[in-house]
Amino acid sequence: MADRQRSAVLISGRGSNLQALIAASARPDASATIALVISNRADAAGLDHARQAGIATQVISHRTFATQTAFEDVINAALQEHRIGLVCLAGFMRVLSPWFVERWRDRLLNIHPSLLPAFRGLDTHRRVLAAGVRFTGCTVHLVRAEVDDGPIIAQAVVPVRHDDTEDSLAARVLAAEHRCYPIALELLASGRAWVIDDQVSTAGTEAPELMALNPVI
C-alpha cells in the first residue's frame, strides 16, 4: 500500500468534522491519515476524540503570543515537525494570515456551511432562511487569503424546508459536512483532484464515492 498523506486538523471546539475525518482515515484504502490535531483552546472537546484514536495532539493558544505571526510560526513548526502534507480547518475559529495561507497554498482545506460563493461569513443559516432560498449545503474548498474563498473541491446540497429553524437546518447541513469533508480530503490526498488555473480539476477521474453527496432530505 502506498504511503498515506500525513494530514493535520486544526480545531477550536467539539470536533464533529474531526471525528468524520478520523473515521474515514481508518479505512484500509484511505489515502490520508490524520497524524496531528492542533487546537488553540485547551478545553476543545475534539482533543479527546483525537487522543482516544491515538492521534498526536497539541494545544497552541493564540492568547499566549504577542502577535499573530508568532502564533502561526509555532503552528507551522508543529506541522513541519510531524511531516504534515495536508491541513484541514475544522471549526478553527481564527482567521489565518496571508503568509500562512500562502505557505500552505493548495494544501490547506476548509469547510463552510453554505454553497459557496453564496453566504460567505458568519450567521450562515440565519441568512439562508432570511433569503428564502430553496437549497443550501456545504462546501469544502482550498483556502485563500480572503475569508471563505478559494477553489472548490466538493459540495453537498441540502434542501431548505418550509418549517426549518436555524437549528434544524444547521443539523442537516452538519450531517452533509460529515460526508463531504472526508471525500474532499480523499480526492486531494489520492491525487485525484488537483489545481489548474486556481480551480480544482478532477478531469478523467472516476470517484464513485461522490455518489454519497446526494441531497440530504
140: which strand partners? 111, 154
DSSP secondary structure letter of residue 164: -
Degrees, nearest 5: CA angle 97-83-67 = 25
Q: How many CA atoms lie within 13 A of 185 on its CB side?
A: 35
The predicted structure's pLDDT at residue 2: 63
The predicted structure's pLDDT at residue 216: 41
Which residues in the chain land under pLDDT 70? 1-2, 203-217
Active-site position among 112, 125, 141, 178: 112
The verdict on 217 and 115 lying in the same domain is yes
The verdict on 99 and 120 lying in the same domain is no
Residue numbers of the domain that contains 54? 1-104
Domain termination residue (choose one: 83, 104, 125): 104
The predicted structure's pLDDT at residue 210: 43
Q: Where are the alpha helices (DSSP H) in 57-165?
A: 68-81, 98-103, 124-131
The verdict on 75 and 115 lying in the same domain is no
Q: Based on the residue annotation, tell me whether 112 is a catalytic residue of this protein.
A: yes
The predicted structure's pLDDT at residue 205: 52
Looking at this protein, which amino acid is placed at residue 15? G
Angle between helices 166-189 and 16-25 (to 10 degrees): 30
